[in-house]
Amino acid sequence: MIAVSILNRLIMAAVTLFGVAVIVFVLLRVVPGDPIAMMIAPGASPADIAALRAKYGLDLSLTAQFGVWIEAVLIGDFGTSISLRRDVLELLLSRLPATLELAFAALIVAMLIGGTVAVIGTLFRRTSLEPAIDTTNGVLLAVPDFVWALALVLMLGVFIPVFPLSGRIDPTLSIDFVTPFYLLESLVRFRFDVFFDVAAHIVMPVLALALPLATVITRILKETLLEAMVQDYVLLARLKGMSETRLVLQEALRNAVGPALSLTGVQFTFLVGGTVIVERIFAYPGIGNMAIDAVINRDLPLIQGLVLVFGSIFIVINLAVDLLAAALNPRLCHG
């Protein structure tokens, strides 16, 4: 049952990715701008330019170019970055972990903040705290990630400079990472000096990405929690003398998280998209930051690779969310 539906999803994922590949490929070729023009030395002869075009396969027809590219991608060859002159796959793999750490840290922080505020709002329903929480959350709901980023830079980077403004790690720290997951690796290796430095660097970009999602989670989760709190089973549990906190956490929460969870899945893809601008603001060396450079330089192979990576992330997220929802809902996993 579950295996079949996962297989279905994987086939759908492959189809989706192929669609994404086609669209980005065509789009990149119809948008004006010439990558070769960005890389030639002034005064290059037409013959030199033609040679370069041939080298990157840009002299072929559109369909032929696509065929060459897709065929190569299928065997793991994403081509060579035009601007960085390095293997695209290698570039992606070296930068992706930084973005993954950032995005997942932001996701966890968003769920913690959003969930906690929703639970507090539910516990204090019909008190004066509730409208205060609702109003504040309603206003913050409209604040996008890059505004949070700029506000955080001003508050925690400039006025009260507690966190470093840019980068991922203090370059003077001596540690040879064996994996590109700095945050995880330093923690696992008990290098707390390094861990705290990496954590300090990631705090502001994480918050900038997490806070918009947290407000969404709070909004929807508090609503479903309040709905669950008036259900008969909560009433019965209250009669049995269960404390209000346990009523919310044990009785209501599991029945209320469904909608918040699926929405979090959708919003998480926006969060991953948000890494592009947020990584740029904090000069954080992930694939988002790299994407902006790739676009500026019209680095077609790199952009294509990046889009496929982002597309894959979105698909994996959606799959994970569905599986998680099934795992949490006994109706779906026990006949």
Which residues contact other proteins (rule: CB under 8 A)?
A: 231-242, 250-251, 254-255, 328-331, 334-335
Q: Which of 267, 256, 232, 212 is nearest to 118 (CA)?
A: 256
State in angstroms the smallest separation of the CB of 98 from other proteins.
37
Any idea what DSSP says for residue 31? S
Both tokens of 279, joined, read 């990584």
Both tokens of 40, joined, read 């030639």
Cα–Cα dist 172/30, whole Å: 45
Asked whether the beta carbons of 169 and 101 are under 8 A apart, the reply is no
State in angstroms the smallest separation of the CB of 115 from other proteins.
16
State in angstroms the smallest separation of the CB of 236 from other proteins.
6
Element (H, E) at 293: helix 287-296
Q: Which of 30, 20, 93 is nearest to 290 (CA)?
A: 93
3-state secondary structure of 141: coil
State in angstroms the smallest separation of the CB of 159 from other proteins.
46
The dihedrals phi and psi of 231, each to the nearest 5 degrees, come to: -75, 155
> In whole angstroms, how far apart are CA 130 and each of 21, 42, 126, 135?
47, 65, 6, 9
State in angstroms the smallest separation of the CB of 225 from other proteins.
13
Give the largest CA-CA distance in the chain: 87
The residue type found at 109 is: V
Q: Which of 121, 124, 114 is nearest to 257 (CA)?
A: 114
Nearer to other proteins, 176 or 232 (CB): 232
State in angstroms the smallest separation of the CB of 1 from other proteins.
16
State in angstroms the smallest separation of the CB of 228 from other proteins.
9
Nearer to other proteins, 214 or 257 (CB): 257
* Region at 85 (left for phi over 0; alpha for psi -120 to 50; beta for the rest): left
Element (H, E) at 277: helix 253-281
Q: Which of 321, 331, 319, 289 is nearest to 306 (CA)?
A: 289
State in angstroms the smallest separation of the CB of 118 from other proteins.
17
Nearer to other proteins, 16 or 329 (CB): 329
